[in-house]
Amino acid sequence: MEQLTEVMIESIDLAAWAPYALEVQAQAFGLTAEEVAVRLQIVGRHAQQPGVIALGAMSGGRLVGFGYGMPNHREHWWSTVIQPHLEAQGHGDWLDDVFAVTELHVLPGFQGQGIGSGLIRRLCEGSGLRRSILSAIDAETPARRLYRSLGYRDLARAVRFPNTDRPYAVMGATLPLLPGRTAQSQSANSR
């Protein structure tokens, strides 16, 4: 499917846009209605965290992609899960002074156009930190290929989060991100 609508990346109020963001995530990640309900509460809590940055990719007034993140703190739930895995690999220092990309999703019909790359670049650039960390499904997916093209590398693999069936990889990158692949829509329409 060819996408002809211009996409603009802009800051969003995470709490206000959370229901729309979770619609995007549900389609992109295959979430059930129950999972969306649980994640809506989590996103609401994240929206209140100091230093949170949230971006939306808008096309014709519709949210077609979003991403958000925040400075990592060891007491955050996510950090407590990944900490033993990172420490076992000698990467425990990646929990400090690092920007955690919490969520990054693009509607399937808009994927492959540089929107995800534009979102993650803007998130990391706005963080003011020297490194970024994230988790992704531990499989060769388009998302993992994108992260690698931007300079992320595996810090720990086969990480299991509670209530999930799939293993995850924790990836980290020094900022700024590598040039990676670019798309005309990303460079011309991101602002």
pLDDT of the residue at 191: 38
Predicted confidence (pLDDT) per residue in 95-137, tens digit: 999 999 999 999 999 999 999 999 999 999 999 999 999 999 9
- Cβ neighbors of 97 (< 8 A, separation 6 or more) are 71, 129, 130, 131
Task: Give the pLDDT score at 162.
Answer: 92
Q: What is residue 164's predicted lDDT score, i.e. its pLDDT? A: 86
pLDDT score for 188: 34
| Residue 159, pLDDT score | 98
Q: Please tell me the distance from the alpha carbon of residue 141 to that of residue 63, in angstroms, as a whole number.
A: 23
- State which residues of the chain have pLDDT below 50: 1-4, 182-191
What pLDDT shows up at residue 184? 37
Smallest Cα–Cα separation from 82: which of 144, 91, 127, 39?
Answer: 91
Per-residue model confidence (pLDDT) at position 183: 45
Q: How many CB atoms lie within 10 A of CB 38?
A: 13
